[in-house]
Structure 1
Amino acid sequence: MPPKLTRLLVSNLHQATIKQPVVRNMMKSLYFQFSAGVLPMYAVTFIGYWAYGSSTSTYLLSSVNGPVWVKALANISAFLQTVIALHIFASPMYEYLDTKYGIRGSPFSIRNLSFRVGVRGGYLTINTLVAALLPFLGDFMSLTGAISTFPLTFILANHMYLKAKKNKLTSLQKLWHWFNVCFFSLVSIAAAVSALRLIAVDSKTYHVFADL
């Protein structure tokens, strides 16, 4: 490997590595994410509900009024965020496919490049087709969030922390984590039931490839 490329890779690897102390800096990031980081998310949720009520569209920007360029910019931002998020969440699938079919070596070799473009492009195409096929895909996203995102983010994390630190936590800390486990379990169940109801209701109203 050329020396310049080696230095570049080492530099990028160093930049992507959390500086010491790793655990403390990771905890700082988590504290920030679950405090200041959630404020914009909840702000959009509650302000949107306050402004448009329960009749608002699943895709909030469909209910927003204002200059065309502002709506266009918001839609472009939402599209780019969706593309990035899709690639991040699809990374385990990409890794599984690469491992299963023995994709190793240079990512720019003809075989590896053609495989990744074809398989990953096909994966994204299928996802896009399903999203267009079901205009109420947001209901399915709510369901997957209820049965995967909530448990993984709030329930499993708290339970794992309890198991790992059970002898080092005070009674108050244990109570707090068990409260999170129980509370978000109930929220997850309620969200799943709500999502199933929305799917049942919307499936009677919309037709496939509906232009909403």
Structure 2
Amino acid sequence: MVNDSAMDTQDQQYNDKVDSRTEKEKAIDAWLPITSSRNAKWWYSAFHNVTAMVGAGVLSLPYAMSELGWGPGIAVLIISWVVTLYTLWQMVEMHEMVPGKRFDRYHELGQHAFGEKLGLYIVVPQQLIVEVGVCIVYMVTGGKSLQKFHKLVCDDNCNDMKLTYFIMIFASVHFVLSHLPNLNSISGVSLAAAVMSLSYSTIAWSAALNKGVQPEVDYGYKAKSTIGTVFNFFSALGDVAFAYAGHNVVLEIQATIPSTPEKPSKGPMWKGVIVAYIVVAICYFPVALIGYYIYGNGVDDNILVTLNKPTWLIAMANLFVVVHVIGSYQIYAMPVFDMMETVLVKKLNFAPSFTLRFITRNVYVGLTMFIGICFPFFGGLLGFFGGFAFAPTTYFLPCIMWLAIYKPRRWSLSWIANWICIVFGVCLMILSPIGGLRSIIVQAKTYKFFS
């Protein structure tokens, strides 16, 4: 016991030596959502990462497989799993590479790698596109899953409600939950979300397997023209990129774990990441492969929409999706809240207060709800956002940072591995938004606003 307290004192002295912040800066950091609480355990990292990664994307994987085909589909899924695990490991390692300093936010690491201004210009726009994009897509997903649940449990006497109202019902939860102060305070919501993701993924593939291969199943490409097939292929790459997109919040999750020179945060963080990636594999591969095997190219862009029987099971799965995307929305919204509050308090000199937090967070939730109502193109949005911003921040930006900071020897294993990831990621970034944008345009032709 005496040794423990002595070690705590040493750690505190060490932190005080390397901490050059003023008292005002310390007070602001203690108020901001990312840096206010640093007492998370390794399993917090596990379920935060599962919640961040296994989201709406998993339900679109059978559809992505139908547009990619067996060979390319399996290859892209496995390569993405390996590449993103590698880039996630790099980010965990880089979190505390400067002794006594922690890069608590993605853009802080970017600033260290590329310079104060350039780092901000490179990272912040991409991170915001990802996080705000995910929140919008999850508004649509939550609304559509609620609508599907309503249709399944309701008899024929029920009135058909517009998707708009379901998105508003889903958003109403976030007007409350968004006022939880930091990442640690949403750990209960995140744990429930992680359990739900495993549950609805299992229901999705087991219910499909129970149905058996459909009589007229077709594994050929759905598009009749070559150009349509190519565009759909590109869009499917974006769907896969979207499915592997937990990196945008990984440094923020690691920032909640305590760290000392003897026990840096990367140990427990990496343990959590390994558990999370095992869960990701258990969720993704069966859903993608079994869903495509059973339905072929007749599968919807959300496999739970394709499944209708047994009614009670699919209704339950849709409810699980709602609970999961509630947690996922919060995980992705928290870094945005942190950015907004940092600018307001540090740059515009607002006093840290409940009122400031109440207004900014409600405005953000309201904005994502409104955009989600206006553009509820689930599949197209996944493809577009997946390629446009998820591919850089997930597949190759960590590699570029690693090369810039550590400067591995040319043609060494590290140098080659990073360049392979960069080339793969750049191809994803260029190709998938083209397919996603075309998909949105095609769907928009028949779409009426606020329907």
Is 1:69 equivalent to 2:317 in the alignment?
A: no
Per the alignment, residue 7 of structure 1 pairs with none
Q: What letter matches 1:162 in structure 2? A: L
For the Cα contact (< 8 Å) 2:38–2:258, is it kept in 1?
no
Per the alignment, residue 3 of structure 1 pairs with none
- Change beyond 3 A, Cα 1:149–1:81: same
Quote how far apart the aligned CAs of 1:182 are.
Answer: 0.3
1:71-129 alpha-carbon deviations (Å, 9 max, x no partner): 22211221122222222222233234334162514x4xxxx2xx544442332233223
Is 1:78 equivalent to 2:345 in the alignment?
A: no
Higher relative contact order (CA 8 A, sep 6+): 2
Match of 1:90 among 327, 333, 343: 333
Q: What letter matches 1:133 in structure 2? A: C
Runs of 4+ in 1 over 6 A off after TM superposition: none
Counterparts of 1:124-139 in structure 2, within 5 Å, are 124-139=365-380
1:127-146 alpha-carbon deviations (Å, 9 max, x no partner): 22332332314412321121
- Change beyond 3 A, Cα 1:37–1:179: farther
Quote how far apart the aligned CAs of 1:199 are.
Answer: 1.0
Match of 1:197 among 426, 433, 438: 438
Match of 1:159 among 394, 400, 424: 400
Q: Secondary structure at the match of 1:190?
A: helix
- Change beyond 3 A, Cα 1:132–1:154: same
Is 1:17 equivalent to 2:265 in the alignment?
A: no
Per the alignment, residue 146 of structure 1 pairs with 387
Q: Secondary structure at the match of 1:173?
A: helix
Is 1:104 equivalent to 2:347 in the alignment?
A: no
- Change beyond 3 A, Cα 1:174–1:184: same
2: CA distance, partners of 1:58 / 1:182 = 28
Quote how far apart the aligned CAs of 1:21 are.
Answer: 3.8
For the Cα contact (< 8 Å) 2:409–2:415, is it kept in 1?
no
1:25-49 alpha-carbon deviations (Å, 9 max, x no partner): 4344445545x24312243233323
Quote how far apart the aligned CAs of 1:66 are.
Answer: 2.1
Per the alignment, residue 206 of structure 1 pairs with 447
Match of 2:413 among 172, 180, 183: 172
Aligned-pair identity (%): 25
Bigger drift between 163-172 and 64-73 goes to: 163-172
For the Cα contact (< 8 Å) 1:18–1:25, is it kept in 2?
no
For the Cα contact (< 8 Å) 1:143–1:192, is it kept in 2?
yes
1:185-205 alpha-carbon deviations (Å, 9 max, x no partner): 112222111101101111112
Per the alignment, residue 41 of structure 1 pairs with 284
2: CA distance, partners of 1:69 / 1:117 = 38
- Change beyond 3 A, Cα 1:166–1:123: same
1:160-200 alpha-carbon deviations (Å, 9 max, x no partner): 22223333687223212211110121122221111011011
For the Cα contact (< 8 Å) 1:135–1:208, is it kept in 2?
no
- Change beyond 3 A, Cα 1:118–1:23: closer
1: CA distance, partners of 2:371 / 2:300 = 19
- Change beyond 3 A, Cα 1:147–1:131: same
Q: Secondary structure at the match of 2:417?
A: helix
Report the TM-score, using the length of structure 2 for normalisation. 0.38
- Change beyond 3 A, Cα 1:71–1:163: same
RMSD value, Cα: 2.7
> How many residues are paired up?
191
Q: Secondary structure at the match of 1:149?
A: helix
- Change beyond 3 A, Cα 1:146–1:17: same
For the Cα contact (< 8 Å) 1:155–1:185, is it kept in 2?
yes
- Change beyond 3 A, Cα 1:182–1:37: farther
2: CA distance, partners of 1:118 / 1:52 = 46
Q: What letter matches 2:291 in structure 1? A: G
Where in structure 2 are there 5+ consecutive unaligned residues?
Answer: 1-36, 41-255
